[in-house]
Structure 1
């Protein structure tokens, strides 16, 4: 069976790949198990050297890989190489740097005549299922620490970005990683479920939709293993009356529309104190109109097509429903000449007169669309931010750090930002609550899911 990647740029078939057959899947699993038994015995120094050399491959080929990524999923070429040069490199190097302390034996109080400690053993074979929207940023969260932990990895990338999986393989081959420690497979959804159900898989790291998360969880439930699930978001921002207005506008416009809004932690709803609401909205709209929607292979383009026409159609449906319920769109889409119905080219939109009876404020949109509501103060903002099935990130814009801390303790979210948004700090745990998933990647804590504790209780005979 052939898998085709349709480029959102022009609707052409950009990549064709044959899906793995049963024999290829079985062979990959067998190789992973065998390779991991040897790899786990290698020193952390050797693992780190290989992983750092793999990062070197990514950096040496960032421009070429960036153009590939643009054709695969539509992000403007002026940005795609930076996914590798900045976020990918930062996360990979950080997770490599903290591996020694994160994986060190856990010492306990000693008793006379005994030696006792807890060792962090690798799980075995880690199956990483990665999405198309940030294909390198999302996958590096699991791939590098899994290999640093002494696991073998099998990577399945989204149908939209198969070349990313192949680039990982090329990078690890360049770095001299032993054969079988890292492999990739092009698979159908049904095959993914079958692989998860195979006894040779010890952990699943999935990033994707809530629907996909349920499917992964269903497959996991047949076995005594766990999985990390990073799912959807409807991430809110709260702009207090004391905020630096220009800074808030600049960053929230970018947080709403970068990558055409196709980010799990992008800004999808904004609550602004009523005292500065009108000015905030005016400046927000003014900046939004400066975007250039068009062919993402052109350097001047700042907003590329969405990943597919169906995604643009879904966003337009949410907008139309909100307008029918009383919402007001503030962006005239004719200002964006490339905006065309029935294509992935979709202009940014800002909606006011919105409320939580509208799906645009409660259901994930995953598009360059944001709703903005006025609020009377902190209490109302907290209530509205928490009125969601999701809880990945949330942000506050204020000059008062004490207020930010107090409000952050009350907001149901995995990450709480002050005066920034849509960013992952690799030193901090990346996690979500509610339907945004479970588990944790990044930070030292991220290593815990990729290892199991093994206790050593040694009695020393005199």
Structure 2
């Protein structure tokens, strides 16, 4: 339920666990709570970073409801898998149309939930691209693979079977994009899906559920559920889930692995990141500066593959820093509901306080802050945090080694490629790395030495659905998108058929 008088009216079962409720938004797009007939005593409360108000509140599912969700998902899966890939694709494209059709409601709703400015219009460009691409390649990616050495009298091939029941534990920073990465290909592969969304973006799961309901998707093929951490761990440890995809912190990933231990379920874990960029002497500086500023500060720096540290060759260091700081000063802080706002508040005040601590430690150790931003909202305990650029940084500072996940970036001078590669690899994470040069072969050679899941040249902070999305080291395990993403959401089954003699 919502605090104050800004509620709408909803009826129906709990958060799409069974029937999807018909909800009418109140003022500012806020939704009232949806309570099941068997109501839980515990609720999840969504505190808006805009003004600290409780934007939404939902009851967690009861044990009986959780059991029913899993049983229904298991029962619905064979019938869903029996549909053709083409028919499953029609549902996915209809879902996409239904979801995008609510953009006018979803965009301000996202601003209230996690602070992203409305000027960016939600996540629908990427949601469209990824959904359409994964539907497009499904027939080929899921086709049986014949044995490479044909033999007379035999038919031999490997089939890709659906995993069964797939659980998606989605994050708040890109709540639609990250969830689509698994939901769409898992459903295309013939599995059923249970979504548990982050508390900070509680309403996103309901948006998914309503969009799927609008398509006439067979009942219980997709279900949204509200759980606390203990319930999630208990469910994963029950052995009743076949695969879980989790996007979040390293600590969260370890908790997921521990909960799932002994069940032999498969895991997809996208965890921490500290993505570096290296600017070479021949880089087109104006292009590098504009793109790296956006890569560092878009979404208040709360991007899985956002730029968190930049290494610049000494030959162009001074020019780069001057241009970067000038460009960064255009990224001003404001109310995310204002169409002119470029940076909104961070999702939670504790995230902003962590960045404040990183900055203070760096300054104590000799770093220089360049933005000189004065904002009365920038105080301890506030989610409003201006962008910051630091120089004079080194790897004894937390800001250059520990994940920041906020609007702060350190820029460090390097002598050559060897020093740059050494520093880029001096991290427990490895999601993406970007190289800025006009020399493609040199970029490839450097990329071959960097411990990362994706190498960019002259771009950053983007997922191409035709390329696998994966990481190394503490960034996690598994893979999403591309045909390889389908491999991770299916199990191989061999057929060795001998003709009758």
TM-score range, shorter chain: over 0.9
> For 2:415 and 2:59, how far apart are their aligned partners in 1?
56
Deviation at 1:254, TM superposition (A): 0.2
Give 1:338 deviation, angstroms: 4.5
Structure 1 counterpart of 2:87, from 46, 60, 78: 46
Contact 1:432/1:438 (8 A) holds in 2: yes
Aligned pairs (5 A) from 1:437-456: 437-456=476-495
Q: Does 1:119 align with 2:159?
A: yes
Structure 1 counterpart of 2:98: 57
CA distance, structure 2, for counterparts of residue 458 and residue 240 of structure 1: 57
Tell me if 1:224 matches 2:264. Answer: yes
Flag structure 2 segments of 5+ consecutive residues without an equivalent. Answer: 1-41
CA distance in 2, matches of 1:277, 1:67: 40
Q: Deviations over 1:87-124 (max 9, x none)?
A: 11110110111100000000113212211111100010
186 and 80 in structure 1: CA distance in 2 versus 1, 3 angstrom threshold: farther
Contact 1:391–1:433 under 8 Å retained in 2: yes
Kindly state the Cα deviation for residue 29 of structure 1 after the two structures are TM-superposed. Answer: 0.2
Contact 1:235-1:265 at 8 Å conserved across structures:
yes
Give 1:281's aligned residue.
Answer: 321
Is the counterpart of residue 252 in structure 1 residue 252 in structure 2?
no
- Runs (5+) with no aligned partner, structure 1: none
Question: Which one of 26, 37, 43 corresponds to residue 67 of structure 2?
Answer: 26
| Alignment counterpart, residue 359 of structure 2, candidates 294, 311, 319 | 319
CA contact (8 A) 1:333 1:339 kept: no
Listed one character per residue, the Cα deviations across residues 156-184 of structure 1 (whole Å, up to 9, x for unaligned) are 00000111111111111111110011001
TM-score by length of 2: 0.91
Which runs of structure 2 are paired with 1:223-372 in the superposition (5 Å)? 223-334=263-374, 336=375, 338-372=377-411
The question of 1:12 aligning with 2:53 is answered yes
Provide the C-alpha distance between the structure 2 equivalents of 1:200 and 1:5, rounded to a whole number of angstroms.
Answer: 29
Moved more, 392-401 or 283-292: 283-292
Partners of 1:80 and 1:195 in 2: how far apart?
A: 35
Q: Tell me, in whole angstroms, the C-alpha distance in 2 between the residues paired with 1:441 and 1:375.
A: 34
| Rounded Cα–Cα distance in structure 1 between residues aligned with 2:478 and 2:282 | 35
Matched, 1:175 2:215: yes
**1:92 maps to what in 2?**
131
How far, CA to CA, are the matches of 2:476 and 2:457 in structure 1?
Answer: 22
CA distance in 2, matches of 1:164, 1:64: 12
Larger RCO (CA within 8 A; separation ≥ 6): 1
Deviates more, 1:136-145 or 1:169-178: 169-178
- For residue 454 of structure 1, report the CA deviation from its aligned partner: 0.6
Name the counterpart of 1:429: 468
Query: SS state of the match for residue 458, structure 1?
Result: strand
Give the Cα–Cα distance (whole angstroms) in 2 for the partners of residues 173 and 215 of structure 1: 32
